[in-house]
Structure 1
């Protein structure tokens, strides 16, 4: 199922600064050499095919939507808040300049705009999405990403009303999950092995499948990862994982008791020596047999 993307205008993401993103006579053209991606944008990987399609479009029609940029705080030039894909496509198409809107955006606004712009498109990997949200939460709570992770887990145990209000505002912004679900299910992804995270970014490995691969021991992970990248389903991967588990030894006491039952019931004279009441009790006992065992007995299958 395709995940529903939030469809909010970028102006609405900046609170009272909506005018910052409205196009008008302020649109100008800047040389590509003066632009650079902002270092905290959520999208780390752009697929080759996706970039090639956009490059063809830019080569034929140019860049139709202005990039949103801000003056760089150091080194001169401008940092891209929204439009990094268009920037890369323009470079690949050999353009010299692109249309831009220059706005005095804060770090928080830069991350908000970049994150939501990417969330409105298909193709943002779950890991990039998770890291982007964590950076946004960290800015809103005035913490490091590590501190933001701790705050999320702490609020699950003992909610702080002020922090919870900020968290709910962030997740209303992206409009696709709750902060509780994010903390319980997505944060653990950041601790997965690097090769699994890279497969999610570069090859689009689904979150649910990646979780199965991430949980296996190091020595088995390469084979499971190859299976997953080759198109194996979650069921197939779980079957492969189950086959890796050693079969635990049977309880010796249970083995002795079952062997005694087998010899007793299999004795030729056993049924002949039963009284009427004992035979009725035996039938009742057989009816209480677990369903899976009764099916094996009826099929005549070897229970081993």
Structure 2
């Protein structure tokens, strides 16, 4: 059964922009948790965020829910727009009623509210930040995500472009997470990483620092490194495995190649097989060797 109560609603400044009347003048309803439908098409999250859920549930048990959930009314009942973790923590804490704000929101507005709520979470992973921000840009400009990414990159390359720029400036100012230029330069680039790495970040919680090591490795080592990292392994362990798979080169020459070269040059049969032109070329090449290498070769074995 639905009841009514009046409580102050604590909201982030970005999310307040979706509420047409002052927050303190809104009526906060108390809804049964069974009345709230989750998993709407506008929800941006792909996987449940379990981190600190028990801590949040403990806090809710002691202090209650300080920020009401945002829901919208649909023909099939109330649908959650923002506050999924609070709702799940409330259920974990044993609450049967939760405070909500009911707003009339279309799909476009509901998606924006959900994305902003996601961006306001503490401890947000960078892949979630990039995905949510890019989806928010696409939603605000009413273009596909791929087009939104191209638009940001194009604005960065050609600052004189004005198409959609006022909306971008207003959006990032509203979010309070830095400029769109900083986001495009420093964070959007991770979407260039291999798709398997991005999928592991989104669906398996692969940390950004480890994902960066895998993305920087040679393409033929990335699959093995990803499997190794998801065991799971620490950043130091993944870096050590990357170095094992791709050992450093000596003075720009692969170690295996250096060993093979030494064997060839010490083989009288191989040297005798060279034609006169190849012998002259080899002699000229040996004259160009570094002095330190020449001195080492001239030392008599003991």
Partner Cα distance (2:111, 2:295) in 1 = 64
Could you tell me which runs of 5 or more consecutive residues in structure 2 were left unpaired when the two chains were aligned: 1-9, 262-277
Q: Give 1:260's aligned residue.
A: 287
- Cα deviation, 1:226-283, whole Å, max 9, x if unaligned, reads 2484212486476456428892968999964453367xxxxxxxxxxxxxxxxxxxxx
Q: CA deviation at 1:46?
A: 4.1
- Paired residues of 1:43 and 1:124 also in contact (CA < 8 A): no
2:64 aligned with 1:57? no
Q: CA deviation at 1:67?
A: 0.8
Q: Give 2:254's aligned residue.
A: 247
Q: CA deviation at 1:203?
A: 5.6
Q: Give 2:46's aligned residue.
A: 44
2:83 aligned with 1:83? yes
Q: CA deviation at 1:83?
A: 1.3
Partner Cα distance (1:147, 1:91) in 2 = 39
Q: Which has the higher contact order (CA 8 A, sep 6+)?
A: 1
Q: Give 1:180's aligned residue.
A: 181
The one of 208, 231, 234 aligned to 2:234 = 231
Distance verdict in 2 for CA 1:128–1:25, change over 3 Å? closer
Q: CA deviation at 1:141?
A: 1.2
Q: Tell me the C-alpha RMSD between the 2 structures.
A: 4.0
Q: CA deviation at 1:161?
A: 1.3
- Paired residues of 2:15 and 2:117 also in contact (CA < 8 A): no
Q: CA deviation at 1:65?
A: 2.8
Name the SS for the 1:19 alignment partner. Answer: coil
- Cα deviation, 1:78-130, whole Å, max 9, x if unaligned, reads 23232111111223344332111112234454344333333333232222211
Partner Cα distance (1:129, 1:149) in 2 = 14
Q: Give 1:266's aligned residue.
A: none
Q: How does 1:177-216 map to 2 (within 5 A)?
A: 177-201=178-202, 204-216=205-217
- Paired residues of 2:112 and 2:139 also in contact (CA < 8 A): no
Partner Cα distance (1:297, 1:96) in 2 = 83
Structure 2 length-normalised TM? 0.67
Distance verdict in 2 for CA 1:49–1:134, change over 3 Å? closer
Worse-superposed segment, 236-245 or 129-138: 236-245
Q: CA deviation at 1:137?
A: 0.7
- Cα deviation, 1:160-194, whole Å, max 9, x if unaligned, reads 21422222222222233432343344334335445
Q: Give 2:144's aligned residue.
A: 144
Q: Give 1:69's aligned residue.
A: 71
Structure 1 length-normalised TM? 0.67
Could you tell me which runs of 5 or more consecutive residues in structure 1 were left unpaired when the two chains were aligned: 1-7, 263-285
Partner Cα distance (1:127, 1:182) in 2 = 12
Partner Cα distance (1:138, 1:50) in 2 = 30
